[in-house]
Structure 1
Amino acid sequence: MNNNDKIKDDSGRIQTIHESEKNYFDNKAQTESEEFEKGGWFVDHTRHKAVLKIWGLDESLNGKKVLECGCGTGFFTTLLAKIGAEVWCFDLSSKCVDLTKKRAELNKTGDKINARVASFENMDYEDESFDIVLGKNILHHIPDIDAAGKQIRRILKTGGKAVFYELNASNPILIFFRNHIIGKTRLIPKLGTHDEHPLTADEVEKLSRIFNHRCKISYPKFRFFGKFDRQVFQQRYKPISFFLEGIDNMIYLFFPPLRKYSYKILLEFEK
């Protein structure tokens, strides 16, 4: 295969993945919009301290230009706007973007949020546009992590920070469970899309190199037994959920060396 054929093949593969992701999140947005009509549109900004603590962000974002990658239905987008940020955001799903705009208007933050349909490959923000670029559970959906990392660095201001809260592939037990059990039976359905996968150590290293290794890796919470609860029991039994989450919390507090095996990882990059 010559180089031109490879480019065409990669382009076709990425387009196929984009269509699959878009369809999945369009359907998810439709389901969530029905739930929102029961009273779920409002974003309580008094919760921001706990949220921002997980993300390692300052409590005040007044005047900061922030880009959220993969905005979903706009909860975090609206929260950022409520605590002072000027927010730009994008998502592959047009239905998600529509719900983000609606949520912003209902929360009286529409004038501080600019939402559009886009992907990492075609976002056209100018170089050095943002003080902060962030995303939750988005990079592990990206087919070309190297291209995504370069785009993030391009649009980030010098001295700016990129923060991503992602799925982590370092736990072999969870990865075995994910690859060989989840989705193989109707009792344990797959909850995500077909092409997504937790970030591997190699992918994290690629991103780190793009930022000249100005990368901080942390684990704000331990997520292991809680993952089984979500997949196996769908969090239907509160006593079980409470018990399993308690085990995760105990591991986090008393066994720090095990934190790297959490299913959640926080990546912070500086330009």
Structure 2
Amino acid sequence: MMNLKKMNKLSLSRIGGIFHSRNAVALDWDHQSLAAVEVADRNNGAEIIHFTIRAFPADGMNAAWLKAIWQQEHFSEHRVICCLPPALVEYKSLVMPDLPLAQLEEAVKIEMDSGSSGHSTSLVKIIDWQKQYQMLLVNIALVKLELLAKEFQVLKQAGLEIEWTGFRYQGLQNFINFNRNFWDDTTTSTIYLDIDKDATELGIVKNEVMVYRREIGWGCSALLNNLRGNNSQAIISSEITDLIEEVRLSLAAYKADTKDEIPLKIEAFGKIEAASTIRDS
């Protein structure tokens, strides 16, 4: 049975604590590849023992392929912790009453069950929240349980024991954590776009805090193909227009939810070629 009660954010410094001074193998995968890292807990911190990144075979991740990796890379531990892949998690922001945590968790579940279809089979987890006037702006994750069960079944067939499951830090959160000291103005609210091949993450940062996060179903694959194929500016502009429309809808939802004005500053990063083209537009 999946140990969903242990689902939380992943921090490398926590791995030793999870395994109580034993080695740990952390797994992180997306639709293309798997990263596996074996870490040993040392008195002065964690030490990486084995590390590999493998592209999936034609039939995707399977038990025989995983067993072969364990043998080839000489992993010594079969107990693993997992970062949930992006395809299994949907991130949202909600405006909720200022309630104690237990009541807030229940209110969020009721809100998601009644709000839209497709969430009844998802596990709802609160990631964090911020005070927003007399309300709370709550960032949540919706975990797609049916897909998660299929992925975990493959791991178990490979002889792996899942000890802990966590959310990877999103790209925008990483950007904030590692670049906050280089910002010219930390008080101005800013929109950030993290552009990837299959999706774009939109976040709004206010006073160095991520106050709003939403994943947009627009990836830059088609845009990059058009740029590299020297296609017409009209085709390229059409791709960017689609992204702009998605961003406008997300910002309208932000304003409706928070009653805040939409920030005037926007930054795009991620796939450099695509981000540069979007900035120039």
Higher strand share: 2
Give TM class, smaller chain. under 0.3
TM-score after normalising by structure 1: 0.24
Q: Computing the radius of gyration over CA atoms, which structure comes out larger, 1 or 2?
A: 2
